[in-house]
Structure 1
Amino acid sequence: MRSSKELCSLPKETFDLVIAANRLPVDRVVHPDGEVEWRRSPGGLVTAMESVMRGRDGAWIGWSGDPGEAPEPFREDDMQLHPVPLSADEVSDYYEGFSNGSLWPLYHDVIVQPTFKRRWRAAYERINKRFADAAADLAAEGGTVWVQDYQLQEMPAMLRAQRPDLRLGWFNHIPFPPVELFMQLPARESLLHGLLGADFLGFQRKADAYNFLNACRQLLAASVKGDVVRLPDGHATRAAAVPISIDAQAMADLATTPGVKARAAEIREQLGNPEHLMLGVDRLDYTKGIRHRLKAVGELYQEGALDPATTKFIQVATPSRERLEAYQHIRSQVERTVGQINGDHSPIGAPAVTYLHRSFPREEMAALFLAADVMLVTPLRDGMNLVAKEYIAAHDGTGALVLSEFTGAASELKQAYLTNPHDISALKQSIMNAIQAPPDVLARRMRAMRRQVMTHDVQRWAEDFLTNLAAAPERPR
């Protein structure tokens, strides 16, 4: 971390690799004395892309997180960062509005009904153009621009119009919906045309790539052969699954450090050294299935299948999008459910459920992973879920993973206790199966999953994506 006094403006230069994401990989922190420093942001995208950027001639374009004028470009942790400005109104309309009020619920099976406003859509197009302009200015001749996620779906075509010399890739970190849901989106065709500005589109699952290809076939009447979309002007875009992963070795190494191991033992001791410790780690989001998970755990306590004195559950819920009504609602529901479970079942001074509504440093998360006997990863819909992979990387031969069938991770981690989180009875049975499994069965399952995670790490994901991008069909100039 560096203070603002140490941040230096970069000379005007171009880069062979440009990453464009909604947010920069750092957060601005102002201390009481006015000193400013930049800290690495939490979250799967930052963790994954930081590893990709390390050692490459690259720049990262993104919003700093504060509305108003953007800071000057600067270097931080060996990454060259170029902030894009967003006004307060643009944050409200582009980010909280269209990105997270329209696209996010639509792309997550309409668990919450999406809202569509023309003002939001106009802001989305305007900000995508701003990102495209920034990338066009920074990318070297014949360079590569890798666009990230659902907030920037119109950027590829906008950038293509300015810089046909570039290789353009886009990766979707969340699900892509079936065409029957995608059709609800006003001006849906322009979003598809925006994505088709890229040479290669990466998705978490084969089903997501298929959904995109099917949308192009039905809504654009485009020619789709195999995984390639071809438009009448000859432009071709390939769409395929390239599932994201984590820096698995870094998590594995962190989990073996004396400090983390001692902290894991301390966590269990603070909880009374329970016979079984279950853990959930999520952003506080309605897609994560936290209420369903709590309902299952509460019923297991109620039925006597789990003893609240000897089986404890920790739920970490990282604050997320707290100004949006849907997120305020899920927070109140989760907190009310936790209170009800503890009121009904906890011994005096020893809550059955420990609820933590805040973020934690990486070392503390590694200690929680290491301390937990059973990890509950049960989203109602999730593009991948990197927490599941982090838990596995932290464990060498121990532990159990209860995993939703509706995560991208379920396609890779087949030795997990796969479950349907919408079916509370099935979820309860999966939890009990994980808790009651013999140690040799748990060890065999964990070894297989760990091999998968350690072999298919974030570096392999980046190499696979960039290899696919380099091999994508050439475009006519």
Structure 2
Amino acid sequence: MPAAEFVVVANRLPVDRIIGPGGEEEWRTSPGGLVAALEPMMRHAHGAWVGWPGQAGLELEPLEINGIDLIPIALSAEEIADYYEGFANDTIWPLYHDVIAPPQYHREWWDAYVRVNRRFAEAAAAAAAPEGTVWVHDYQLQLVPQMVRELRPDVTIGYFHHIPFPAHGLYAQLPWRDQVLTGLLGADVIGFQRAQDATYFLQAVRRRLKYEVKGSAVTVPDGDGGSRTAVARAFPISIDTAPYLELAARPEVQARAAEIRASLGNPSKILLGVDRLDYTKGIRHRIKAYGELLEDGRLDVEDVTFVQVASPSRERVDAYVHLRDEIELAVGRINGDHDTMGHTAIRYLHQGYPREEMVALYLAADVMLVTALRDGMNLVAKEYVATRADNRGVLVLSEFTGAADELRQAVRVNPHDIAGLKDAIMTAVEMPGAEQSKRMRSLRRRVLENDVDAWSSSFLAALAEVRGR
């Protein structure tokens, strides 16, 4: 493969490998926003994407799909258990989400993380053209920027952190805290979802590594008596709005939304939650609040139905197994107490759905409940807003999401405050149409003007500025 001017490094490749009934291999583009944002530019600039193909022990040669060179990284079952399920998702994920679940610290997990990060870095370094650009993504690959810099000091390196970064009091728990900071500072630009996350990172750099920090700039020693500047600041990510606008305008999707309402008994209000089944998402808190509103008589199951979509996630990690059991027990109890022959209190759906069905659900829902306990951004909130061309509907949004910094016309909540969450749900359910319209117009303007293209453009402009110094 020819050298690439622009190399993306992410845990997963932007395609899924499908084996047909006759054993034939097929690759389908993943529906993620990151793929949509970067695909046109990667085609234009001759791009390569380094990532894991999604199956243990799968060794593949580089291939080209849709004009993008794909460089698969093979991971053994043991590496997936230690690097991905272990260090990434049972150490970093809970630590960076305010220790909602206790992080596990195992040296063999760390060793696997270093080993796998090096494999990604070596592939990226080998793929990049002279003076090219390498953009590394997310918490699974925090050591890659510095590893690439050591191998290829000529390239410009960006890193974007899609999840929160913790306050120093929490971050300091990590036994390998200095190594991770050094890894991230290998990048020229380190992007975060919120200004608060960038501040926490810069505080950790100042306190742990004692580097000079001025504003968003860090003076990083180069080891030869000189230094360079790394910039750390917020670049809030967004969604590719076009498919949501297009689907929401389709008559068959609108008809499906009406069908969903009818299947739920045509309640006057539908509340909706859409999440990965994860302990950071506050699903238990919203179920508890809704159940108490029914108990209190402030809501009636004949009038209001709550639909919770919880797509399966990390089903081999113990904390997720326990969470599923707890949620299903709570849903069963509330439904047993409050269901009638014609109406269900909570319609709980532990499965994923295609985008068309999700848009129909968004159109059917009068209130969107996003009650994450901690979330880097939360793109579901933006998806809901994008679909609401009628300017109706209410977004109830946790103040602990990155989206809360931008979507200021939402009904903001502290999900830990169950009484406050109950009041917020009632405010949303009872909100007059004129106020819904005023708030939703403002929310939609923000989402449509600041889409995923604007996000990627702003990050790459910051990288170009660093390169031009």
TM-score normalised by length of structure 1: 0.94
The residue number in structure 1 matching 2:421 is 427
Query: 1:58 deviation in Å?
Result: 1.3
Which shifted more, 350-359 or 194-203? 350-359
Over 3 Å counting, the alpha-carbon distance change for 1:134 and 1:211 in structure 2 is same
- The answer on 1:333 being equivalent to 2:322 is no
Query: 1:309 deviation in Å?
Result: 1.4
Query: 1:271 deviation in Å?
Result: 0.9
- The answer on 1:143 being equivalent to 2:132 is yes
In structure 2, what is the Cα distance between the partners aligned to 1:367 and 1:111? 32
Q: Match of 1:292, SS?
A: helix
Counterparts of 1:263-342 in structure 2 under 5 Å? 263-342=256-335
The answer to whether the Cα contact below 8 Å between 2:9 and 2:49 also exists between their aligned partners in 1 is: yes
The residue number in structure 1 matching 2:198 is 209
Over 3 Å counting, the alpha-carbon distance change for 1:464 and 1:96 in structure 2 is same
**Which of 93, 96, 101 is residue 107 of structure 1 equivalent to?**
96
The answer to whether the Cα contact below 8 Å between 2:33 and 2:452 also exists between their aligned partners in 1 is: no
Over 3 Å counting, the alpha-carbon distance change for 1:55 and 1:282 in structure 2 is farther
In structure 2, what is the Cα distance between the partners aligned to 1:245 and 1:54? 21
- The answer on 1:186 being equivalent to 2:179 is no
Deviations 1:380-414 (CA, angstroms, capped at 9, x unpaired): 00000000000000002111100000000000000
Over 3 Å counting, the alpha-carbon distance change for 1:431 and 1:48 in structure 2 is farther
Over 3 Å counting, the alpha-carbon distance change for 1:268 and 1:49 in structure 2 is farther
Which shifted more, 28-37 or 198-207? 28-37
The residue number in structure 1 matching 2:441 is 447
In structure 2, what is the Cα distance between the partners aligned to 1:200 and 1:136? 17
- The answer on 1:344 being equivalent to 2:337 is yes
In structure 1, what is the Cα distance between the partners aligned to 2:70 and 2:197? 30
The answer to whether the Cα contact below 8 Å between 2:309 and 2:350 also exists between their aligned partners in 1 is: yes
Counterparts of 1:79-158 in structure 2 under 5 Å? 79-158=68-147
**Which of 166, 174, 181 is residue 155 of structure 2 equivalent to?**
166
In structure 2, what is the Cα distance between the partners aligned to 1:51 and 1:429? 45
- The answer on 1:235 being equivalent to 2:228 is yes
Over 3 Å counting, the alpha-carbon distance change for 1:386 and 1:69 in structure 2 is same
Q: Match of 1:218, SS?
A: helix
- Structure 2, gaps ≥5 residues long: none
Deviations 1:263-318 (CA, angstroms, capped at 9, x unpaired): 11111111111100111100000000000010011111111111111211111111
In structure 2, what is the Cα distance between the partners aligned to 1:48 and 1:262? 30
Q: Match of 2:306, SS?
A: strand
In structure 2, what is the Cα distance between the partners aligned to 1:289 and 1:77? 38
In structure 2, what is the Cα distance between the partners aligned to 1:51 and 1:161? 29
- The answer on 1:414 being equivalent to 2:403 is no
In structure 2, what is the Cα distance between the partners aligned to 1:228 and 1:39? 40
In structure 2, what is the Cα distance between the partners aligned to 1:446 and 1:25? 32
The residue number in structure 1 matching 2:361 is 368
The answer to whether the Cα contact below 8 Å between 1:48 and 1:245 also exists between their aligned partners in 2 is: no
In structure 1, what is the Cα distance between the partners aligned to 2:68 and 2:266? 42
In structure 1, what is the Cα distance between the partners aligned to 2:109 and 2:400? 29
Over 3 Å counting, the alpha-carbon distance change for 1:44 and 1:304 in structure 2 is farther
Percent identity reads 56
In structure 1, what is the Cα distance between the partners aligned to 2:21 and 2:343? 36
In structure 2, what is the Cα distance between the partners aligned to 1:285 and 1:146? 27
The residue number in structure 2 matching 1:8 is none
The answer to whether the Cα contact below 8 Å between 2:194 and 2:236 also exists between their aligned partners in 1 is: yes
Which shifted more, 378-387 or 334-343? 334-343
In structure 2, what is the Cα distance between the partners aligned to 1:271 and 1:141? 59
Read off the aligned partner of 1:241 and give its amino acid letter. A
The answer to whether the Cα contact below 8 Å between 1:149 and 1:170 also exists between their aligned partners in 2 is: yes
**Which of 231, 246, 249 is residue 253 of structure 1 equivalent to?**
246
Query: 1:40 deviation in Å?
Result: 3.4
Over 3 Å counting, the alpha-carbon distance change for 1:296 and 1:42 in structure 2 is farther
In structure 1, what is the Cα distance between the partners aligned to 2:462 and 2:405? 20
The answer to whether the Cα contact below 8 Å between 2:86 and 2:109 also exists between their aligned partners in 1 is: yes
The residue number in structure 2 matching 1:39 is 28
In structure 2, what is the Cα distance between the partners aligned to 1:333 and 1:44? 31
In structure 2, what is the Cα distance between the partners aligned to 1:280 and 1:52? 34
In structure 2, what is the Cα distance between the partners aligned to 1:193 and 1:362? 39
The residue number in structure 1 matching 2:393 is 399
Read off the aligned partner of 1:362 and give its amino acid letter. R
In structure 1, what is the Cα distance between the partners aligned to 2:329 and 2:247? 35
Query: 1:51 deviation in Å?
Result: 6.5
Deviations 1:227-276 (CA, angstroms, capped at 9, x unpaired): 11112331221000000000112211211012211111111111111100
* CA-atom RMSD in angstroms: 1.5
Query: 1:422 deviation in Å?
Result: 0.5
Query: 1:446 deviation in Å?
Result: 0.2
Read off the aligned partner of 1:20 and give its amino acid letter. V
Over 3 Å counting, the alpha-carbon distance change for 1:23 and 1:436 in structure 2 is same
In structure 2, what is the Cα distance between the partners aligned to 1:286 and 1:223? 37
- Structure 1, gaps ≥5 residues long: 1-11
Read off the aligned partner of 2:392 and give its amino acid letter. T
Which shifted more, 222-231 or 74-83? 74-83
In structure 1, what is the Cα distance between the partners aligned to 2:40 and 2:93? 26
The answer to whether the Cα contact below 8 Å between 2:392 and 2:436 also exists between their aligned partners in 1 is: yes
Q: Match of 1:403, SS?
A: strand
Query: 1:45 deviation in Å?
Result: 4.3
The answer to whether the Cα contact below 8 Å between 1:68 and 1:88 also exists between their aligned partners in 2 is: yes
Which shifted more, 444-453 or 233-242? 233-242
In the comparison of the two structures, how many residue pairs are matched?
A: 464
Over 3 Å counting, the alpha-carbon distance change for 1:52 and 1:183 in structure 2 is farther
Q: Match of 2:221, SS?
A: coil
Query: 1:195 deviation in Å?
Result: 0.6
Read off the aligned partner of 2:465 and give its amino acid letter. A
The residue number in structure 1 matching 2:184 is 195
In structure 2, what is the Cα distance between the partners aligned to 1:372 and 1:52? 35
Read off the aligned partner of 1:437 and give its amino acid letter. M
TM-score normalised by length of structure 2: 0.96
Deviations 1:189-220 (CA, angstroms, capped at 9, x unpaired): 11111111100000000000000100000000
Query: 1:82 deviation in Å?
Result: 1.6
In structure 2, what is the Cα distance between the partners aligned to 1:382 and 1:242? 15
Q: Match of 2:466, SS?
A: coil
Read off the aligned partner of 1:122 and give its amino acid letter. D
In structure 2, what is the Cα distance between the partners aligned to 1:241 and 1:52? 22
Q: Match of 1:263, SS?
A: helix
